Structures are given as structure tokens and as C-alpha cells.
Amino acid sequence: MQTLIIATRNRGKLREIKELLKDLPLKVVSLADYPDMPPIVEDGKTFRANALKKAFTISRKTKMLVLGEDSGLEVEALGWRPGIFSARFSGEQADDEKNNQKLLEELKAVDPKRRRARYRCVAALTDGERFIATVSGSCEGSIAREPRGKNGFGYDPLFLVPEYNKTFGELPPEVKERLSHRGKAMKKVKKFLKRYLGSV
């Protein structure tokens, strides 16, 4: 069976991608399975640049099929920050809780009508020899006034989906998969993977 390396050490991200690609004949693994891989400095100016860097760095080392993915939260009232700095919004020792606390602090005085936000995701596929594709997905919502729900990871307990009036932290995983930025991007990734798997 063909192996697909997800160029991440983020367990939440890996879990979601595995679930979204589960019906493909692929063994999906992550950088946790390749401890000798070099750290990837995410110094790109865009999600796309970071996704491509992750994909090419790991595929050139392994000569294997690799998916690089970069995603984050953009908040209109903050000038579309944190964006590409979402994972380290609260500093180099950032974790989900610290990032969420910083976001709430920065939005403390912002009116609910001005708390519009979006999640964005860009994914890049390469196999060490050739570039296969980049795809993207986005999801519109707003930022709640306090964390709600225990599902998901990252900013999910704060990301409010208008049509359900629930956060990603409250929605069941199967609903999030359908609506989310990552779910939409992986739907496009699957089309390229099916074509690729049919040709290798």
C-alpha cells in the first residue's frame, strides 16, 4: 500500500486528515514516524508558501509522497491576524489554551458584530520527483466571547459557525469535516490523490 506522509507533528491535524482521507488506499503517517527529519522553519509569507516548504522539504529527504499543510485563523477586527502565526500567536511556548486566551484578550472590547473570522487551509502534494498540486479551503464564522465545547483543537472552541450557532468545539466531528477549511481542502486533495494512485 502506498504511504502518504503528512508533514506535521500536530496530532490534532493528523487525526483530522487521516479521517478525511480514510477511504483512500493509503497508509497515512506523520513526522512522528520519521524522527530524523529536520525541523521545518515556517518562514513563508503565506499559507501556500509554508505548505509547499513542508511538502518539498520532507519529500526530498524521503523520496516519498508527502502532504504539506498550513492553516490558521484570520480575524477581521485584528487586521486578519493571527493568520500564518496562528500556532504561535501567544509566543514560542504557545499552546491552544494560551492562544485562545490571547485572542479573547485582544477582542475583549470588540462588538459581537465585528468579530468576523475565517479559517483558511492550503495543502501541497509532492512525491519527491514532481509537484502534484496545491489546493485551498476556507470557512467563515465569528469569534465567541468564551470557549465552548471540547471537540477539535486549536481555536475550535472559539470559532462560531453562524448556521448552527455553535463552535467547532461543540459540533460533532462529522459536521466539522463537512464545513471546515481543512475538510474542503482535503476534498480537493482526494481528487488529485485518486488520479495519482491510478497512475503509479
Give 10-residue mean pLDDT values along the chain (200 residues).
94 93 96 92 94 96 96 97 96 93 96 94 94 97 96 96 96 94 97 88
Amino acid at position 141, single letter: G
Neighbours of 19 (CB within 10 A): 14
- The rounded distance, in Å, linking the Cα atoms of 17 and 4 is 11
Q: Which residues are annotated as catalytic?
A: 70
Long-range CB pairs of 96-105, under 8 A, 24+ apart, other chains included = 96/153, 96/154, 96/155, 99/154, 99/155, 100/147, 100/155, 100/157, 100/158, 103/73, 103/75, 103/143, 103/155, 103/158, 104/143, 104/145, 104/146, 104/158
The candidate with the shortest Cα–Cα distance to 144, out of 103, 97, 91, 102, is 103
Residue 198, pLDDT score: 87
- The rounded distance, in Å, linking the Cα atoms of 115 and 111 is 7
Residue 36, pLDDT score: 92
Cell digits for 10? 500536530
Residue 112, pLDDT score: 84
pTM of the model: 0.93
Q: What is the largest CA-CA distance in the chain?
A: 55
Give all domains of the chain, ordered by start, each with its CATH number. 2-199 (3.90.950.10)
